[in-house]
Amino acid sequence: MRTSFTKMQALGNDFVLLDRLGADAPPLPAAAALARLADRHRGVGCDQILVLSPPETPAAEVGYRIFNADGSEVGQCGNGVRCVARYLWERVGMAADGLRIAAPGGVTRVFRAGPGQVRVDMGMPRLEPRDVPFLAASAESGPAGQHRLRLADGTVVTLGVCSMGNPHAVLECSAIEDAPVAHLGPLIETDPAFPERVNVGFVQQLDRHRLRLRVWERGVGETLACGTGACAAMAVLRARDAVEPVVAVGLPGGELLIEWAGAREPLWMSGPAEFVFDGTIDL
């Protein structure tokens, strides 16, 4: 089937966007076809596929689904929703400020924040293990929401957990360049303590206003940037008053601004989103 797409990226986290908003839109490709679309050698190549559709809730103007490069579906994507916002504003002609976009993990509101920049109300971080979900009984709980978890290879890690509409584990490290992302990332992602698998963030705190972060994304591997990962890292540290309410998070692909006043308040993320090219492909 001939399929039209738009390639977009946000801090190097790249996406193939499929527009299924119209009444005559073709059906969603099967998971194997989506994985082929994401293949960097035999398809277009991307970290995730974003599929726009009419919303299934009256709380939003637009809906979208998110599929990893392996074809698995996830609940939310911080960088992806900024790309969706720009597409809706500039290709569909929808109103700019306050547009509500529904993903399986929840509804976000998007606002223009300057040329090519999008500010997103990501909702309230959920830090309770059951909301991630994280089977806390599998780990030794420590102070301020920290958990000691023994992995399959015997390594013991200390981590915080957070849901931003998708699950995150956050590990602190002293030097981000030396973080064992490729080794510990897949071990933590697939640990039985995370029944839905988990995204794994390795965060270095420079001071109370600046963080550095690398993320191993479930179903993808390490990416250049992860928006919800930046939100989760800030929330885990902010919950124990280790950072200020406004933090710049540096990722390999660039910088995001994360704002969170604290409990019972929404968390805000600001950053860029860019068009790359349009095309068609046979799936």
Q: Are residues 159 and 102 in the same domain?
A: no
Q: Are residues 137 and 208 in the same domain?
A: yes
Task: Give residue 265's domain range.
Answer: 129-270
What integer best gives the mean pLDDT of the chain?
Answer: 95
Put simply, whether the predicted model's pTM sits higher than 0.85 gets the answer: yes
Q: Are residues 100 and 83 in the same domain?
A: yes
Q: What is the dihedral of CA 67, 72, 77, 79, to 10 degrees?
A: -60
**3-class SS at 122?**
coil
Domain count, the chain: 2
Which residue of the set 162, 173, 226, 231 is catalytic? 226
Residue 282, in any domain of the structure: no
Active site residue 226: yes
Cα separation, 60 vs 246, whole angstroms: 27
Residue 283, in any domain of the structure: no
Q: Are residues 139 and 240 in the same domain?
A: yes
- Given a contact cutoff of 8 angstroms between Cβ atoms, the answer to whether 78 and 84 are in contact is no
Which residue of the set 77, 83, 162, 173 is catalytic? 77
Q: Are residues 152 and 58 in the same domain?
A: no
Q: Are residues 116 and 134 in the same domain?
A: no
Tokens coding 41: 């050698």
pLDDT digits (tens, 9 = 90+) for 152-189: 999 999 999 999 999 999 999 999 999 999 999 999 99
What per-residue confidence (pLDDT) applies to 102?
Answer: 97
Q: Are residues 73 and 196 in the same domain?
A: no
Q: Are residues 242 and 138 in the same domain?
A: yes
Cα separation, 142 vs 159, whole angstroms: 10
pLDDT digits (tens, 9 = 90+) for 30-71: 989 999 999 999 999 999 999 999 999 999 999 999 999 999
